[in-house]
């Protein structure tokens, strides 16, 4: 039980460095929820949605070429919208998290500059707290963004490739 208390005490010490860390934590949870949802969609929901769209396309097998092209364009646009859903928002959220971490580091640097004129032991403690308030949010947001950029780029590329492959499947020979 004591180990569990020490574990959570460590978290409270970490989050005491700045209130921005709580916001970064919540945004990170939201970001990773969106990323997992998109991967869930591509692995489990997209194949069924693709089959439904193919059945819709097959209804236009006997239609004239102009109607078939219009239907193909509409079906591909719907697939594009569904595969790219949330990808732009995820990319924006990654940028917001990075900027929020940098903004928090500026606040920590302001604490450092306030502590510089104070001398003695109290000045050193204020300086150390300011450095921690500057470094922890910047490192947290930077490491989060570094990992999230890989997954964001992979999601964007996957959405583009899936849309192109689906559009190629709909081409009339």
- The pLDDT value recorded for residue 13 is 54
**Each residue's pLDDT tens digit, 59-104:** 987 889 899 889 999 999 999 999 999 999 999 999 999 999 888 8
Residue 173 has pLDDT above 50, yes or no: no
127-170 residue pLDDT tens: 777 787 788 888 989 999 999 999 999 999 999 999 999 999 98
- Decide if pLDDT at 11 tops 60: no
Phi-psi region of 172 (alpha: psi -120 to 50; beta: other; left: phi over 0): beta
């Amino acid at each position: 039980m004591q180990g569990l208390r020490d574990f959570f005490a460590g978290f409270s010490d970490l989050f005491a460095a700045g209130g921005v860390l709580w916001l970064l934590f919540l945004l990170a949870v939201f970001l990773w929820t969106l990323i997992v949802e998109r991967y869930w969609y591509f692995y489990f929901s997209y194949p069924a949605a693709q089959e439904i769209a193919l059945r819709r396309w097959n209804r236009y097998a006997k239609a004239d070429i102009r109607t078939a092209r219009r239907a193909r364009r509409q079906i591909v646009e719907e697939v594009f919208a569904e595969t790219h859903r949330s990808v732009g928002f995820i990319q924006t959220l990654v940028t917001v998290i990075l900027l929020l971490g940098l903004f928090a580091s500026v606040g920590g640097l302001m604490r450092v500059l306030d502590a510089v004129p104070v001398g003695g032991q109290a000045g050193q403690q204020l300086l150390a707290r300011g450095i921690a308030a500057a470094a922890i949010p910047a490192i947290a947001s930077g490491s989060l963004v570094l990992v999230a950029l890989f997954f964001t780029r992979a999601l964007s590329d996957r959405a583009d490739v899936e849309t192109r492959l689906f559009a190629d499947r709909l081409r009339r020979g």
